[in-house]
Structure 1
Amino acid sequence: MTKYPPRSEIVMQNPSSSHRKVVLVTGASSGIGEASARHLAAAGHHVVLGARRVDRLIQLVSELTEAGHDAEYAQLDVTDFESVKAFVEGALTRHGRVDVLVNNAGVMPLALMQDLRVDEWNQMIDVNLRGVLHGIAAVLPGMRERQSGHIINVASTAAHRADPTGVVYCATKFAVRAVSDGLRQETTDLRVTVVCPGLTRTELTHSGGDEQVQGAVRTALDAVGISPSAIAEAIGYAVAQPANVNVNEIIVQGTAQV
Structure 2
Amino acid sequence: MDIQDKVVIITGASSGIGLATARLFAQEGAKVALAARSADTLHTIVNELHEQHREALAVPTDMSKKDEIESLVNRVFQQYGRIDILINNAGQAVRGHVADVDIDQFRQIFELNVIGPVEAMQAIVPKMRQNGGGLIINVSSTAAHMHLPVIGAYAATKAALNMISDTAREELASENIRITTMFPHVTATNFGKNSMATPKTNHLRPQLNVPEPDSAEAVAQKILDAARHEPHEQYMDR
Q: Mark yes or no: TM-score above 0.5.
A: yes
CA distance in 1, matches of 2:41, 2:212: 27
| Residue of structure 2 aligned with 1:249, choices 211, 233, 236 | 233
CA distance in 1, matches of 2:224, 2:101: 38
Pairing 1:225-240 to 2, within 5 Å after superposition: 225-240=213-228
TM-score (norm 1): 0.84
Higher RCO (CA 8 Å, separation ≥ 6 residues): 2
User: 1:25 Cα deviation (Å)?
Assistant: 0.5
Distance 1:167 1:145, change over 3 A: same
Distance 1:235 1:213, change over 3 A: same
State the secondary structure of the residue aligned to 1:206: coil
Pairing 1:66-215 to 2, within 5 Å after superposition: 66-186=51-171, 187-188=173-174, 189-207=176-194, 208-209=196-197, 210-214=201-205
CA distance in 1, matches of 2:3, 2:18: 24
- The farther-off stretch of 199-208 and 128-137 is 199-208
CA distance in 2, matches of 1:171, 1:230: 25
Which stretches in structure 1 are left out of the alignment for 5+ residues?
1-16, 254-258
Pairing 1:15-94 to 2, within 5 Å after superposition: 19-94=4-79
CA distance in 2, matches of 1:179, 1:55: 32
Alpha-carbon displacement from aligned partner over 1:13-61 (angstroms, at most 9, x marks no partner): xxxx983200000000001100000010000000000100111111111
User: 1:230 Cα deviation (Å)?
Assistant: 1.0
User: 1:220 Cα deviation (Å)?
Assistant: 6.6
State the secondary structure of the residue aligned to 2:99: helix
**Amino acid paired to 2:63:** V
Task: Compute the RMSD of aligned alpha carbons.
Answer: 2.0
User: 1:162 Cα deviation (Å)?
Assistant: 2.5
In the alignment of these two chains, the number of paired residues is 231
Q: What is residue 11 of structure 1 aligned with on the other side?
A: none
CA distance in 2, matches of 1:18, 1:231: 17
User: 1:191 Cα deviation (Å)?
Assistant: 1.4
Distance 1:18 1:34, change over 3 A: closer
Q: Contact conserved, 2:94 with 2:153, CA < 8 A, in 1?
A: no
TM-score (norm 2): 0.91
Q: Contact conserved, 2:3 with 2:227, CA < 8 A, in 1?
A: no
Percentage identity across paired residues of the two chains: 33
Moved over 3 A (4+): none
